[in-house]
Amino acid sequence: MSGDRLAAPDVLRGLAIAGTFVTNVWVFADPRGPGAVFAGFTGGWWLDTALRAVANGKFLALLTLLFGIGMELQYRSAVRRGLRWPGRYLARAAILFTEGLLHYVLVFEFDVLMGYAIASVLVAWLVGRSARVRVAAACVAGAVTVLLVGGATAATAGSTGADVPLPPYPATWTGQVAARLADPLLYRVELVLIVPSAVVLFLAGSALSRAGLFDAGAVTLRRRLIGTGVAGAVLTVLTTLGGGPWFLVERYLVAPLVALGLLGLVPEVLARLHGPTGPVRRGLTALGRTAMTCYVGQNVVAAVLFGAWGLGLAGALAGVAAPLRTGAVVGVWVLVVAGSAAAAGWWLRRHDRGPLEALTHALLRGRSPASRRGARTP
């Protein structure tokens, strides 16, 4: 399983990028603008609800777990080389935060990179500590997440979202940039939930990596994760039937269970595949190896396609019958994901990293080498 073990993280990351865009594309496609997230999506049909439920938080949680696995690998690399930890990693977090800030201001209100950067700084100080410290920190962060989600759910109980006043959304790109700058408390409020939940999932990903998740002998661990995912899928059905008030419960408490299931399922499926690699697997691998570039790039393309300052598809689809509108949105998702996978594959045949990944690497290489003092043994 060695080849599949090495390929599984890239395939999982590509699946997470493609799945995260399922959620984002509905935000871009709503003619009311990003405020529709707070008011609730309306005017669709049952398939819209099902598609959003399938994607809501699941692939973002998967991406977060993989980020934690990546952090663990970077920590091990630093220890092997005798480098101080977190040391240089803090510079990486600063670059990630800057990229997220630019992504938020210029492209998309609900960027997650800023939250990842903040959480990664917190976890960087924990990943080299004892198991007791890491478990205690995860429990505290988990408790904060549950309290915040529970409080927000109780506060919105009985509300349909129709009574939520939506701020007017500008039609021009410059106006939208100005709106993001003017309303950071509105559009960045989700950071309050992203950061503690990311701390939990980063630490979980680190722990799973130490447990040998992708090793050939970790079949029992992966099967337990699959069982957790099945339980998460059942709970997803229940929260979806519960309606809008359960949105945050599904996104932050149930979705990680489904993501853990995917983390166990995909390596098992890859281990049973034989023969030449197919186009789907090649495409997901390319997406996974250029995850940062594709995450930002897909949102840029969606903003151009749906924005009033671009092709204006969001407004054009507003009066279309629900089945046709759903088909159009799903079609855009397919085209954008397939196009980004093809572009990523073309790029990787000529370069080692995606454009944004290469930029991060170049910025880090421009820094002084880290000190070799103070490394901790895992």
Q: Say what the alpha-carbon torsion angle 370, 372, 374, 378 is, to the nearest 10 degrees.
A: 100
351 versus 166: which is more confidently predicted? 351
CA distance linking residue 84 with residue 128, whole number of Å: 11
CA distance linking residue 206 with residue 140, whole number of Å: 17
What are 203-229's pLDDT values in tens digits?
Answer: 999 999 999 999 988 999 999 999 999
Q: pTM of this prediction?
A: 0.92
Percent of the chain with pLDDT over 90: 74
Give me the count of residues in the chain: 378
Ranked by mean pLDDT, the top range of 38-47, 184-193, 331-340 is 331-340
pLDDT of residue 376: 39
Instruction: Kindly state the tokens that stand for 182.
Output: 């003017």
pLDDT of residue 164: 62
Residue type, 58: K
The pLDDT-based confidence of 371 (bands split at 50, 70, 90) is very low
**Does residue 21 surpass a pLDDT of 60?**
yes
pLDDT of residue 378: 37
What are 235-257's pLDDT values in tens digits?
Answer: 999 999 888 889 999 999 999 99
**Does residue 319 surpass a pLDDT of 90?**
no
**Does residue 117 surpass a pLDDT of 70?**
yes
**Does residue 178 surpass a pLDDT of 90?**
yes
Average pLDDT over residues 25-35: 90
* Lowest model confidence (mean pLDDT) among 212-221, 268-277, 292-301: 268-277
The pLDDT-based confidence of 77 (bands split at 50, 70, 90) is very high
Cβ(75)–Cβ(126) below 8 Å? no
* Lowest model confidence (mean pLDDT) among 144-153, 251-260, 271-280, 354-363: 271-280
- CA-closest candidate to residue 258, choices 51, 56, 18: 56
Instruction: Kindly state the tokens that stand for 200.
Output: 């939990």
Ranked by mean pLDDT, the top range of 5-9, 86-90, 158-162, 219-223 is 219-223
Residue type, 272: R
